Chains A and B, each alone.
Chain A
């Protein structure tokens, strides 16, 4: 229909005398469209630049005061005179919680996606799909409260004592899973994060799994492949790029999630070897302390924000790089 409408416009305008006028009108429309879309695209860069610049301005006093040592100082003493601030604790917490969350969420999320697209009976598809969507729709503060009142006590009373007793005395693992059990810990926060990022991985994986041409799968089933073999050798390789995209989106969320983590991580700047000990993340630290901060303390918090920005940038850049190499390999 749309095409026909355009054509009839052209017909109307095709009289011998205003052909040039019509053409220039088209050209003008095209140029306008080009510049509008271009301006939209550039506005992203401007906004991003604006954020970076204001972060740098805000963080400047802290950068001047602490320099690079900010990165490897563990002490966080805003009330000391002068304040001693270091980012190591929050950076460590951010990375650890994200890594554990992804380690749990990737296999579970992909598992759900595979089940939904390949194995699930039709009648069960909608309820599960709906549940995943609902999971994505729950506000993070609700996750935080649920973690604080339900998940935290459950983990502290059941799961953690079990893990602590199992790994007691085992080198390395014994220190990672060391007591005492705690309602608020790095591990509890990681688990909440895993649940929160699950919908990102699942929803995107389901969408890309659906793009696998049925003929490819049918051919594989035809030569006698099992479900597992089809997923492993046909579906995943075909959709690799999309799946990794979903995982990266999830990782981005895990790195930056604030409210739920603030509720359940225990907000301790000290780095402890046990993942059942309290810790903090960059965003949780900022959310907790910003309102009552001033001077160098506030500047230090803004510098933490800048660090998170840079950290996320590097993670996403690394993901892009990985995707490019994968695509190249696939091309060969």
Chain B
């Protein structure tokens, strides 16, 4: 098995190594790729130091950092504290993102349709088959719903986005938890699978009466009709940067060991419930300490100066209180 892993890892690395040499190398989640590359670009202009980030997926990123082939790994799914201890690594959330349910329904405006986690779970379980189902109508008394069949669209590739989505469904729908569960790839009870956020966005925008889930940025860029969601506090919230940040601020970062917090379904009246953080993984005692220090410098710079760039790309910067805590962790854990 190790042999195969090494071969696969080497293959992925060879396939993704770009032409220029970079000082810091990172690999992992595809979700923060646009953000990290924008940061890297600005950082290079300012300091002259380059960063090479390969978006090969969260799982592959974890494998790369465990194998010490990169300076840092990136994952949308936090590693459990015991796993981190075993590998001698630390992790911290670097930025956040949010998912929105998107629909293609004639005459429905963005933000008009209201969902709850339970309802979304039932739709994704295939239990609710038509748009005019009483369960949907109950949450949307004023909306005229067609009596057409719902086409469920989901990701076909394993992804951190799917992890956040299924984790949210597992927390809010008991049947989903037992039947499908949470993971980067799950046993989908129904629906068609499309590749990547762009695949789901494209599929939903083309298929009438369909529903899907994408990162907020994709919904915005593709002008998809997103839905509002009822959160843990029972309030209906619209997907806005404020609502996403409320979810992060209301999360209990202080008592979470190794920042092992999954941001879905957080308490608070204003919290958007389908929010997730993307994590950076690094070895405490790295073989190449210079590169490791350089990477920390970069992430510190990103926390200090990268917020505006993040917001431009529809990512959500980490709240200041969390950043302070992360900086303390660096000082105490990373060996120089």
Contact = CB atoms under 8 A, between A and B. Distances in A.
The yes or no verdict on A and B being binding partners is yes
B56 interface: yes
Max count, chain B CB within 10 A of own CB: residue among A153, A185, A266: A266
Given A288-B193, A291-B158, A292-B58, A78 B3 contact: no
Nearest to A185: B192
Contacts of A98: none
A278 B3 contact: no
A268 B1 contact: no
Interface of A: 54, 57-58, 60-61, 75-81, 84, 148-149, 152-153, 156, 180, 182-185, 262-263, 266-270, 278, 280, 284, 288-294, 297, 299, 302
B43 to A, nearest CB: 27
B207 interface: yes
Given A148-B202, A268-B191, A294-B59, A289 B185 contact: yes
B69 interface: no
B185 A293 contact: yes
A60 B3 CA distance: 12
Contacts of A262: 156, 195
19 contacts: A57-B1, A78-B186, A79-B186, A80-B181, A148-B202, A180-B149, A183-B207, A262-B195, A267-B195, A268-B188, A278-B192, A278-B193, A280-B193, A289-B158, A289-B185, A290-B158, A292-B58, A292-B59, A292-B157
A266 B193 CA distance: 5
Contacts of B12: 291
Nearest to B210: A183
Contacts of A60: 1
Contact of A292 (B4, B57, B181): B57
Contacts of A302: 4
Interface string B54-86: 001111101100000000000000000000000
Contacts of B1: 57-58, 60-61, 299
Max count, chain B CB within 10 A of own CB: residue among A84, A183, A292: A292
B61 to A, nearest CB: 10
Contacts of B149: 180
Given A183-B207, A293-B59, A80 B193 contact: no
B183 A78 contact: yes
A149 B206 CA distance: 8
Which 6 pairs from chain A and chain B are nearest by CB? Answer: A292-B158, A79-B183, A267-B193, A267-B156, A77-B187, A291-B57
A57 B7 CA distance: 12
B195 A77 contact: no
Contact of B158 (A57, A84, A183, A288): A288
Nearest to A144: B195
A323 to B, nearest CB: 35
B72 to A, nearest CB: 18
A238 B13 CA distance: 50
Contacts of B59: 291-294
A331 to B, nearest CB: 47
Nearest to B148: A180
A54 B4 contact: yes
Given A78-B183, A294-B62, 13 more contacts: A57-B4, A77-B180, A77-B181, A78-B187, A79-B185, A81-B181, A183-B206, A278-B193, A288-B156, A288-B195, A291-B59, A294-B59, A297-B185
Given A77-B187, A183-B207, A268-B191, A292 B166 contact: no
A289 B184 CA distance: 9
A55 B157 CA distance: 22
Given A57-B3, A180-B149, A288-B158, A79 B63 contact: no
Nearest to B58: A292
Nearest to A297: B185
A269 B193 CA distance: 10
Contacts of A57: 1, 3-4
A280 B193 CA distance: 9
A294 B149 CA distance: 36
A267 B156 CA distance: 6
A235 to B, nearest CB: 43
Contacts of A80: 181, 187
Interface string B147-161: 001010000111110
Given A77-B186, A183-B192, A291 B4 contact: no
A81 to B, nearest CB: 8
Contacts of B183: 78-79
B194 interface: yes
A183 B151 CA distance: 10
B237 interface: no
A81 B202 CA distance: 33
B116 interface: no
Contacts of A293: 59, 158, 185
Interface in B4-41: 4, 7, 12
B203 A184 contact: yes
A292 B195 contact: no
Contacts of B7: 54
Nearest to A152: B206
A288 B154 CA distance: 12
Contacts of A299: 1
Contacts of A180: 149, 151
Contacts of B56: 291
B174 to A, nearest CB: 16
A84 B186 CA distance: 11
B224 interface: no
